[in-house]
Amino acid sequence: MNKVILAAVVSTVMSTAAAADDMKVGVILGFTGPIESLTPGMADSAELALKEASDSGKFLGGKKVMPVRADSTCVDSAAASAAAERLITSDGVAAIMGADCSGVTTAIANNVAVPNGVVMVSPSATSPALSTIEDKGYFFRTAPSDARQGQVISDILTAKGIKNVAVTYTNNDYGKGLADSFSEAFKAAGGSIAMVAAHEDGKADYSAEVGALGASGAEHLAVFGYLDQGGKGIIQASIDSDAFSNFILCDGMIGDSLIEAIGEDLNGAIGTLPGGASEGAAKFLEYAKANGVDGDGPFRPESYDAGALILLAAQAAGSMDRAAVQSKIMMVANAPGEQIMPGELAKGLEILAGGGDIDYVGATNVELNEVGEVLGSYKELMVKDGKFETMKIH
């Protein structure tokens, strides 16, 4: 055989072997769909953690980490499950960072990830129903359940003296779960719900829905939906018809694209978003900026933490085996152990390689309960002069 050809063959074989030795992590988010303006920043933040561990040279004796992206669509459970199936069977990922929206996350967990023994760590799926799925210990989330968000929104409105609201929610697990959680908490606090109505995403005209909500007599409208589709349409129709000018927004409605679409009429809107003002949050923003990533956005800290937990668990297990990764998530996430902050993954990897224990604090003060989810804190936001401003931490 020609020496040049032989060299090329050997090079190809070695390259293939090296690639097979890498750890692949799926990053499945709604790159198209009702939150498509949010997901690029989330993916970049998760992949920042993967790159940090990979570049450290300390991950599993020098192995590299390769992210593999897939589109959850956020709304199409069949498409999301098919995308996850490809990640697991064709791409051979060891774990999945994602998914994002609660409905597709539930579908992927139930139909694909759990049956195949693949860990999922979602940074943004918040439906209370996910706390009780039969996940066999393979589903985790770094964003808190909407059982908590509903209570926080109720507390904020009660403190502001708002006693009567109308509620519209995107017609899926996420919207229904949050609407139920909020309604129960608000009524218990003495508030009243003038009307609760679902809306469908992807419609061109929401005047009928807004007309019914406006006829309820409420002055405040809680919009529990998505900023790039139905939720935005509801707000625009409300403004166009003078039905509402006071809006209450959930986490799925928080993002610059909503302000850009609605304009100054959104000033004064109240919102909630998982997050805090901790040491870890500040360190994440600093580390992300230093590495060319904008970490200041919805679910970006949670995405970084989700990616970090997967790799630290693999290191603790000393293996990329899927079951081995699952077995160590709780250990690396919780005390006791040396606390690990954003930008300190190399330190955590080194401690674990030496047989030590860590407590991954990360960007969001990670501590997982018995079902693998965080309690978390929430930012109380208000739109002022065309920007979301943090008013308080709950």
Reading the block at residue 204, the tokens are 């061109």
State the first-to-last Cα distance of the chain, in angstroms, to the nearest integer: 70
Reply yes or no: is the peptide bond before residue 194 cis, omega within 30 of 0: no
The three-state secondary structure class of 276 is coil
Question: Helices in the chain by DSSP H: which ranges?
Answer: 3-20, 39-56, 77-85, 102-108, 146-159, 173-188, 207-214, 230-240, 256-262, 279-290, 300-317, 322-333, 345-353
Quick: pLDDT tens for 56-105: 999 999 999 999 999 999 999 999 999 999 999 999 999 999 999 999 99
The three-state secondary structure class of 245 is coil
**Domain ranges in the chain?**
3-143+278-360, 147-267
Is residue 193 within 8 Å of 186, Cβ to Cβ? Answer: yes
The three-state secondary structure class of 85 is helix
Quick: pLDDT tens for 145-200: 999 999 999 999 999 999 999 999 999 999 999 999 999 999 999 999 999 999 99
The pLDDT value recorded for residue 4 is: 35
The residue with greater pLDDT, 133 or 376, is 133
Q: Classify domain 147-267 at the CATH topology level.
A: Rossmann fold (3.40.50)
The pLDDT value recorded for residue 189 is: 98
The pLDDT value recorded for residue 20 is: 59
Superfamily per CATH, domain 3-143+278-360: Response regulator (3.40.50.2300)
Q: Mean pLDDT of all residues in the chain?
A: 94
Q: Which of 84, 87, 86 is nearest to 105 (CA)?
A: 84
The pLDDT value recorded for residue 277 is: 87
Quick: pLDDT tens for 38-54: 999 999 999 999 999 99
Q: Which DSSP helix (H) or strand (E) runs through 71? A: strand 65-71
User: Identity (one letter) of the amino acid at 159?
Assistant: A
Checking if the pLDDT of 129 tops 80, the result is yes
Q: Which of 143, 116, 118 is nearest to 130 (CA)?
A: 143
Checking if the pLDDT of 10 tops 80, the result is no
Is residue 59 within 8 Å of 311, Cβ to Cβ? Answer: yes
Q: How many CA atoms lie within 13 A of 40 on its CB side?
A: 7
Q: Output DSSP code: residue 111.
A: I
Task: Specify the pTM.
Answer: 0.92
The pLDDT value recorded for residue 3 is: 35
Q: Rounded CA gap, 256 and 247, in Å?
A: 16
- C-alpha torsion sign, points 364, 366, 370, 372: positive
3-class DSSP string for 339-362: EECCCCHHHHHHHHHCCCCEEECC
